[in-house]
Amino acid sequence: MNFEKLDNKRTLAVLALSACVLGVGTGVLFWRGSSKQVQASTETIPVSTPQVQSIAKPSYVHYVKLADANVANPSQISAQIERLHHDGSKAGVLTTQFKQATHAKMTYRFGRKQPLNFTPAPLRTLVPAGFVLTGREYEGEMVANAYSAMYRLYENPNTKGRIEIIESKLSADKPLVLIDELMNEQVLGVPMTFERFLDKKGVVYYSVEMAVADKHYVINTKAVDKAVLMEFLAALVRSQTSN
């Protein structure tokens, strides 16, 4: 018996079986006819890529030009725009700034916490050093037995400085409309209306209106430097846009 030929046949059989198993496992190798030779496939196996649908982010605020805005008093707003850019404020004089501070102090002292339909900004960690919470009121529409806005008053007993913040939850179903021409400043890319006033004693007041994420803010200050205010506003914006 020719053992050399027998070994060659066994070797071919093992190779053929290995190629067959490999072809079944990977789909890359296959038999070609009766020549018993293993051929490499050059065909590309198509791979389906799942389609990812992008989800549109809700819009809570629309910035529109006055000419395109559906407002009932365009001439009044036009006058506000002119005064803002000429005098630094829309009305020229203090109007509602700190009018509710006294009542807010009473409700904070004698009232209790009420439910909100949003998570308020962590102002205690954001306000300038030396300012403490002295007033709080809940306001706005009731949504699911919870308030949609909150007023907070912070005061510095050493400098007599004051900061009041009205924070309101916005709804994507009824986006807030802000007039583009009234946005005369910005902080970290967020447009805002920035006003400056002087009272009869020469004390400087600032007023800010802006929308950040799903919140609307009205912020008034008394005896607070502009640089300090801008630093606070930047911290507030970061706290609401970091997620």
Q: What is the β-pairing status of strands 61-64 and 176-179? A: parallel
Residue 17 confidence class, pLDDT cut points 50, 70, 90: very low
More confident call, 190 vs 25: 190
Tokens of 118: 């949003």
Mean pLDDT within 18-37: 44
**pLDDT confidence of residue 45:** 60
157-216 tens-digit pLDDT: 999 999 999 999 999 999 999 999 999 999 999 999 999 999 999 999 999 999 999 999
Task: Tell me how far apart the alpha carbons of residues 164 and 98 are, in angstroms, rounded to a whole number.
Answer: 7
Return the exposure string of 187-203: e unless at least 16 CB atoms fall within 10 Å of the residue's CB, then b: beebbbbbbebeeeeee
**pLDDT confidence of residue 143:** 87
Average pLDDT, the chain: 86
Instruction: Count other Cβ atoms within 10 Å, centred on residue 205.
Output: 19
